[in-house]
Amino acid sequence: MTRFAPLTLNAQPFEFDFDVAHTALIVIDMQRDFVEPGGFGASLGNDVNLLRAIIPTVRRVMDAWRAAGGLLIHTREGHAPDLSDCPPAKRLRGSPSLRIGDVGPMGRILIQGEPGHGIIPELAPLPGEPVIDKPGKGSFHATGLQELLASRGITHLIIMGVTTEVCVQTTMREANDRGYDCLLVEDGTESYFPEFKAATLAMIRAQGGIVGWTAPSAELLSALAPVAATPL
């Protein structure tokens, strides 16, 4: 079976139809700053271990997607060293122990090029896989993502990453408004707040899938199993 074969996933609120050739897998912000101690997430008082729990699942899906020959895109949230793309409305919000741009154990918080800004080694992009650097929560805001997807003929997105109710949900809503059919992998996303994750999954698929679909990784992996990679 090739990447062009029509596939159907058991999903909520109903089946999700796609093919690998016209679908991108987007892995959102699996960065040290969100997932490791000493980063931005921890500076806000969060327990990063909740997020770390999804790493093996995300890796399993990434590997299956690569084996099927699908387009895999990574995103990183972060800012220029001079903070010119970080509005005060973002930097000065709340009272974290470290603000964006401050020096922490993994370098300057959420600054491009610093160790904490990097994707965790377990989920490192392979050479040639696009990495979208984004200053906001959504992956389309101030990035070239839409042009990249258009240039590859992508119509469907499968999404994983962190955090469910912030950058993942924002990206999914941006994508839905731009006409993409989007599915969120339920056990491939996580929040520092389990109740926010549950609420986000519910609101995405409510009202006939008003934002999109959700499905467990097992459904995606079994759909992908027969698909053999063909040249992109």
Q: How far is CA 196 from CA 47, 53, 165, 168, 169, in A?
A: 14, 16, 6, 12, 11
Structural element, H or E, at residue 57: helix 55-67
Tell me the C-alpha distance between 85 and 158, whole Å: 28
Shortest reach from residue 77's CB to ligand C5J, in Å: 5
Exposed/middle/buried for residue 193 (C-beta within 10 Å: 0-12, 13-18, 19+): middle
Cross-strand pairs, 9: 16
DSSP 2-46: -TTS-EEE--BSS-EEE-GGGEEEEEE--BHHHHSTTSHHHHTT-
Q: Which is nearer to ligand C5J, 167 or 201 (CB)?
A: 167
Q: Does 162 bind ligand C5J (CB under 6 A)?
A: yes
Q: Are 214 and 204 in contact (CB under 8 A)?
A: yes
Catalytic residue among 86, 133, 137, 167: 167
- Structure-block tokens of residue 94: 């709340």
Shortest reach from residue 110's CB to ligand C5J, in Å: 8
Catalytic residue among 29, 33, 133, 181: 29
Shortest reach from residue 217's CB to ligand C5J, in Å: 20
Tell me the C-alpha distance between 135 and 57, whole Å: 26
Give the interface size with ligand C5J as a residue count (CB under 6 A). Answer: 7
Q: Does 34 bind ligand C5J (CB under 6 A)?
A: yes
Query: Which residue among 77, 133, 174, 181 contacts ligand C5J (CB under 6 A)?
Result: 77
Q: Does 163 bind ligand C5J (CB under 6 A)?
A: yes
Shortest reach from residue 15's CB to ligand C5J, in Å: 28
Q: Does 29 bind ligand C5J (CB under 6 A)?
A: yes
Phi, psi of 175 (to 5 degrees): -65, -40
The window from 10-18, 120-128, 162-170, 213-221 that contacts ligand C5J (CB under 6 A) reads: 162-170
Q: Which is nearer to ligand C5J, 36 or 77 (CB)?
A: 77
The window from 66-74, 115-123, 163-171, 214-222 that contacts ligand C5J (CB under 6 A) reads: 163-171
In this structure, how many other beta carbons lie within 10 angstroms of the beta carbon of residue 121?
Answer: 7
Active site residue 134: yes
Active site residue 167: yes
Q: CB-hemisphere CA count at 13 Å for 57?
A: 19
Shortest reach from residue 93's CB to ligand C5J, in Å: 10
Catalytic residue among 33, 86, 133, 134: 134
Active-site residues, by number, are 29, 134, 167
Question: What are the residues binding ligand C5J (CB under 6 A)?
Answer: 29, 34, 77, 162-163, 166-167
